[in-house]
Amino acid sequence: MSLRIDQALARASELSGLSDSADLDVQLLLETVLDKPRSYLYTWPERSLTMPQQQLFEAQLQRRISGEPIAHILGFRDFWTLSLEVDSSTLIPRPETELLVELALERLERRPQRIADLGTGTGALALSLASECKLWQVSAVEFSPAAAALAERNRVRLALENVDVLTGSWCEPLRGQFDLIVSNPPYIDPEDPHLYQGDVRFEPRSALVAEDHGLADIRRIAEQASACLNPGAWLLLEHGYDQAEAVRNILAAEYYQAIQTYPDLNGHDRVTVARMIEAL
Ligand code: GLN
């Protein structure tokens, strides 16, 4: 029995309670299985999938029903204006992290600038910023060799010559001074029960969890970055919705000023920015 597109879309009901984006998940599966844009699904709802398409759709839907993140099933996730390859070696880029890109763009000038992205994962932040201005030179640092290889594949596929992927811990592989540093580090408390629910179960703990109630890596970055930033240069950090005050205190104890927190689209405190003092 052949499956029509509208019938396939209705299979989203099998994901209710399992996914908070059930309709979107099924649309994304169908787009890739049919290799058509979303508009096609609603223009031709009565068209049928071929047998191989149907088999692939059923197999992928089952994977989603068993909890696997949609980005891992598709192998790609859209972030900013880019489509990024993703795998289980690192975090799946989140929409709220695009706030870091916006806040960085507001602080960068269209002239040669040196940018670093610490813990780049897929390369999401580094590649998004590099794609906005060819004059900017971006160092993308990643500790996990598998994730660094993934970031490098994304860099090559997107043909972004102004990015260098470096392997190492936070600021350690950086050379020279920078005008802006961004990071979406691990910041989840090891005790957080959310680690055992939903998509995060399929992401590496090293990309999610930090000691000291999730603040250990943010503290290391704040300390190390102060030696790598030019006077007046910016540090932008993503953090948990309830960590803004703690992050501001960490930054205030180092040589930072103009410390400010911004909410994400859900209204949660998500990014804190700070500026290296001009001179001692
Ligand atoms: N915001 C992510 C989550 O709650 C965590 C991202 C991170 O640790 N950097 O799943």
pLDDT tens digits, residue range 7-48?
999 999 999 989 999 999 999 999 999 999 999 999 999 999
- Asked if residue 1 has pLDDT above 80, the reply is no
The whole-number pLDDT of residue 278 equals 86
28 Cβ closer than 6 Å to some ligand 1 atom: no
Per-residue confidence band for 279, with pLDDT thresholds at 50, 70 and 90:
confident
Average per-residue pLDDT for the chain? 97
CA of 48 to the centre of ligand 1 (A): 39
Would you place residue 280 in the very low, low, confident or very high pLDDT band (cuts 50, 70, 90)?
low
Question: Which of 20, 96, 117, 184 is the pocket-test mutation for ligand 1 (most atoms within 8 Å of CB)?
Answer: 184
Q: How many CB atoms lie within 10 A of CB 74?
A: 18
pLDDT of residue 131: 98
Return the best residue to mutate from 96, 125, 188 for the ligand 1 pocket (most ligand atoms within 8 A of CB): 188
Each residue of 198-249: pLDDT tens digit?
999 999 999 999 999 999 999 999 999 999 999 999 999 999 999 999 999 9
Using CA of residue 248, residue 251, residue 255, residue 258, what is the dihedral sign? negative
Residue with tokens 């780049």: 120
Residue 60 CA to residue 78 CA, distance in Å, equals 19
Quick one: average pLDDT of 142-161? Answer: 98
The 10s digit of each residue's pLDDT in 242-259 is 999 999 999 999 989 999
Confidence band, pLDDT 50/70/90 cuts, at residue 170: very high
Q: What is the pLDDT of residue 255?
A: 86
Q: Is 188 in the pocket of ligand 1 (CB under 6 A)?
A: yes
Residue 81 has pLDDT above 80, yes or no: yes
Strand partners, 21: none
Nearest CA to ligand 1 atom 10: 200
- Which tens digit of pLDDT belongs to each residue from 56-74? 999 999 999 999 999 999 9
How many angstroms does the Cα of residue 247 sit away from the middle of ligand 1? Answer: 15
Q: Whose CA is nearest to atom 5 of ligand 1?
A: 208
User: In this structure, is the dihedral angle defined by the CA atoms of residues 171, 175, 184 and 145, taken in order, positive or negative?
Assistant: negative
Half-sphere CA count of 31, side-chain side, radius 13 A:
14
Output the pTM of the full model.
0.95
* 257 vs 154: CA distance, rounded Å: 34
